Structure 1
Amino acid sequence: MALFGFGLETGVGEVDDLLRHAEQADRAGLDLVSLSDHPYFADRLDAYAALGVILGRTSRVTAAVNVTNLPSRPAPMLARTITSLSALSGGRVALGIGAGGLWREIAKLGVEHRTPAEAVRAMSEAITLVKALSGGGAPVTFEGEFYSVDGLVPAAAAAPPVWTGAVGPKSLAVTGKLADGWIPGHAADWLSPRFAESRPVIDQAAVDAGRDPGEIATIYNFPGRITENPLASPRDDDGRWIGGSPEQWAGELVSAVRDHGAAGFIYFPVEDGTSTDSALGRWGNEVVPAVREELARG
């Protein structure tokens, strides 16, 4: 069954909205809430500090950082953070992870600049370590190019699902080799050229690693308007989704799951004059139940 999520606010001045919407998503029965990670910006909340509070204020919904800024979070400590959150929340956490993009800003944190190729190799090591340091077992010794641990005992908590925000071919290949899911960049959807060009790279890398490509979920960041009345066309002239009525959304998402193998959707409201409370209400109380009902019919 597909996952349905909501993208939360991350501003320091948006704390009340962030927590209210997380609780609203939890009450509505959504599967996931997510928030972005930009620790170099003073007006943004630290993503993992916020994640802990969100998990403490909710009881059912899974939470994830979409996606973790890996260069600012050393992989062994990221593993400890994510397994601790899993233990505290009863497993209600997923790990979104990225190689890092805004290097001019990242460097302000005192992090050494990595080339794109180095950043991808570091992401590969990080995924390997997070999985190795989860689920108990024998002490782990790992000597990598970027990270190393010596006889470190894994946490008892099971490894969370690991979803990458891969864009380039090398990071897409790492996704196919090691990850459990992929969140396409730039809010690309199943009809986009980005998906058509990128997903085969993931699938081939999975096959080369002896994995079933079907095990790697595609979860979409999916912005748009939810209107009371249908739009003449829910996509613009370039084919990009802009939204429509709950019925139009439901039809689109059912098709995405059945015809294109979509595994999940994280909804982001757009600025169209509708309050976030109302947009989230329509998503959680109208669109998502309609999609779930139709998919349950088989």
Structure 2
Amino acid sequence: MRLGVMFDRDLPPEQLIPFARALDETSVDDLWVVEDLGWTGGVSSAATALAVTSRLRVGIGISPAPLRNPMLLAMELGNLARVHPGRLAAGIGHGVGDWMRQAGAAPPSPLALLEETIGSVRALLRGETVTLDGRSVHLDGVSLVHPPAAVPPVLAGVKGPKSLALSGRVAQGTILPEGVGPAQLPGIREQIGAGDAAEEHEVVVFTYLHIGADAAEFTRSMVEGQASWLGVAPEDVAMAAGTPEEAAAQVKSLWAAGADTVAVRPLAQEDPLRHVTALLSAL
């Protein structure tokens, strides 16, 4: 059971360095960085965080496949994995449909693009030469000159049934969005399936974090927006909120329900690590 912390996308990018250094001194396992349209780049954020820490695994959650050529993405990930062996986890997803259309990158088949991207990136990171004339990805005899010895896991950031099944087939893990609760996890794991029986499949669950009596009011607008995106009622959006003990109980319930990694997302813009410290004390 791993515990991660997300560097919220609304925090100024220059705060990532002190945030990562402070987190590296705690018992937290992971630091997750975000790649959302218009905010910051996931690869550059991961590189920054890895360079100023010595212990944390840094996860990219997530790179949108429509914005990332698989060869270039494998080059970037391979470089990070060579420089910081064993400390990178790479999430790849469909990207938010509206954002991909805004960027002129909406694919004709998001499922085909994601499957072909993940398959190609994984093969390239293993040092293979890849030729693929797929529905969305076209590569002709490409390979990495410096493939990493410690190949980083590639996870799929997805939520729909078809995408979850795809993740089980082709990825080494699945990243689930904020709001997924312990009641949903067993069914989601079933949709993911066993995948390659010789390979463990890591399930990462993102969850909101806010410690304080104002938790319900503070998180209201975020929860309502996430509920609409997930297609659930606001009261069904799970989060680690309230007292430190209540937040810790939510994290423990996610672990118990089948999450291998719970990555909390502190929503407070001022001193977000205070919420992490309170959670750690309760855990």
TM-score (norm 2): 0.81
Q: What letter corresponds to residue 46 of structure 2 in structure 1?
A: L
Contact 1:29 1:61 survives alignment (8 Å): no
Q: What letter corresponds to residue 120 of structure 1 in structure 2?
A: L
Distance in 2 (alpha carbons) for counterparts of 1:237 and 1:127:
34
Aligned runs of 1:159-178 on 2, under 5 Å? 159-178=151-170
Contact 1:29 1:60 survives alignment (8 Å): no
2:188 paired residue number: 198
Distance in 1 (alpha carbons) for counterparts of 2:273 and 2:119:
39
1:109 paired residue number: 103
Contact 2:240 2:246 survives alignment (8 Å): no
Deviation at 1:225, TM superposition (A): 2.3
Contact 1:10 1:18 survives alignment (8 Å): no
Distance in 2 (alpha carbons) for counterparts of 1:214 and 1:51:
25
Deviation at 1:108, TM superposition (A): 4.1
Q: Is 1:85 matched up with 2:80?
A: yes
2:227 paired residue number: none
Q: Is 1:70 matched up with 2:71?
A: no
SS at match of 1:201: helix
1:240 paired residue number: 238
Aligned runs of 1:198-237 on 2, under 5 Å? 198-203=188-193, 206=194, 211-212=196-197, 215-227=200-212
Distance in 1 (alpha carbons) for counterparts of 2:102 and 2:265:
29
1:20 paired residue number: 18
1:3 paired residue number: 2
Deviation at 1:213, TM superposition (A): 9.8
Deviation at 1:238, TM superposition (A): 4.4
Q: What letter corresponds to residue 155 of structure 2 in structure 1?
A: W
Q: Is 1:263 matched up with 2:263?
A: no
Match of 2:132 among 129, 142, 164: 142
Gaps of 5+ in 1: 291-298
Deviation at 1:242, TM superposition (A): 4.9
Deviation at 1:130, TM superposition (A): 1.2
CA RMSD for the aligned pairs?
A: 2.9
1:130 paired residue number: 121
Distance in 2 (alpha carbons) for counterparts of 1:260 and 1:10:
27
> Residue by residue, what CA displacement relative to the aligned partner does 1:108-152 show, whole Å, maximum 9, x if unpaired?
4343x224xx1111100111111110133x533222222222222
| Larger Cα-atom Rg | 1
Deviation at 1:239, TM superposition (A): 7.4
Q: Is 1:120 matched up with 2:114?
A: no
Which stretch shifts more, 247-256 or 82-91?
A: 247-256
SS at match of 2:125: coil
Identity of aligned residues (%): 24
> Residue by residue, what CA displacement relative to the aligned partner does 1:1-22 show, whole Å, maximum 9, x if unpaired?
x1111110335x7123222211
Deviation at 1:237, TM superposition (A): 5.7
Distance in 2 (alpha carbons) for counterparts of 1:256 and 1:10:
23
Q: What letter corresponds to residue 98 of structure 1 in structure 2?
A: G
Contact 2:181 2:237 survives alignment (8 Å): no
TM-score (norm 1): 0.78
Against the structure 1 CA distance between its residues 202 and 26, is the aligned structure 2 distance closer, same or farther, given a 3 Å change threshold? same
Q: Is 1:280 matched up with 2:272?
A: no
Q: What letter corresponds to residue 164 of structure 2 in structure 1?
A: L
Q: What letter corresponds to residue 256 of structure 1 in structure 2?
A: L
Against the structure 1 CA distance between its residues 213 and 249, is the aligned structure 2 distance closer, same or farther, given a 3 Å change threshold? farther
